[in-house]
């Protein structure tokens, strides 16, 4: 099963444009998550700092960034090279990964929630900060499910069997 899952990965990333696309997507999400998590600062000078209590969130955000790059590149590959249609569930993992990875309460966005929505903003901010790690783990699970879904789209369209 695992070698079968790797065959679709090798199929997509044997093309250099998809490696480049995955790298760009990874870097974009890494910068976004690091900035929103207040680990990366651009002004007055470029500074990157990880406090000891932020290490688990940083590791999970990196995993999400890598999976986002892989899954979005594979989505583009499927759209361009297969006859099967993509449905909304194929993009759900990428969307949830982006939303859960950028924890709103862990950044300056938490203050926007508090001032804009009052009590509801406080409740949402508290919920997101308390359940940040479970939300990130759930996001990783959904991204892995999305990878499996894309793998099935590639194998059901006979793309892997034809090209390998």
SS3 98: helix
Q: Residue 132 sits in which domain range?
A: 2-158
pLDDT of 101-115, one tens digit each?
A: 555 445 555 556 566
Q: Which residue has the tokens 């207040």?
A: 38
Q: Does some domain include residue 54?
A: yes
Q: Which residue has the higher pLDDT, 131 or 117?
A: 131
Instruction: Please state whether beta strands 47-48 and 40-41 pair in parallel, antiparallel, or not at all (unpaired).
Output: antiparallel
pLDDT score, position 24: 97
* Average pLDDT score over residue span 13-25: 95
* Average pLDDT score over residue span 31-44: 84
**Distance from the Cα of residue 35 to its chain's centroid:** 15
pTM reported for the whole predicted model: 0.78
Q: Does some domain include residue 163?
A: no
Q: Does some domain include residue 164?
A: no
- Decide if pLDDT at 20 tops 90: yes
Which residues, other chains included, contact 116 with Cβ-Cβ below 8 Å and sequence gap of 6+? none
Q: Does some domain include residue 101?
A: yes
Q: Does some domain include residue 115?
A: yes
Please state the domain count of the chain: 1
With bands split at pLDDT 50, 70 and 90, how would you rate the model's confidence at 13?
A: very high
């Amino acid at each position: 099963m695992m070698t079968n899952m790797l065959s679709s990965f090798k199929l997509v990333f044997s093309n250099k444009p998809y490696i480049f696309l995955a790298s760009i997507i990874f870097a974009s999400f890494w910068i976004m998550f690091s900035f929103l998590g207040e680990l990366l600062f651009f002004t007055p000078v470029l500074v990157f700092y990880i406090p000891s209590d932020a290490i688990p969130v940083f590791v999970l955000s990196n995993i999400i960034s890598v999976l986002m790059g892989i899954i979005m590149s594979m989505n583009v590959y499927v759209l361009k090279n297969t006859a099967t249609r993509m449905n909304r569930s194929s993009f759900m993992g990428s969307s949830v990964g982006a939303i859960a990875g950028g924890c709103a309460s862990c950044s300056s966005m938490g203050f926007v929630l508090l001032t804009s929505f009052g009590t509801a903003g406080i409740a949402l901010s508290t919920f997101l900060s308390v359940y940040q790690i479970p939300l990130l783990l759930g996001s990783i699970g959904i991204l892995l499910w999305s990878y499996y879904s894309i793998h099935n789209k590639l194998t059901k369209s006979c793309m892997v069997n034809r090209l390998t």
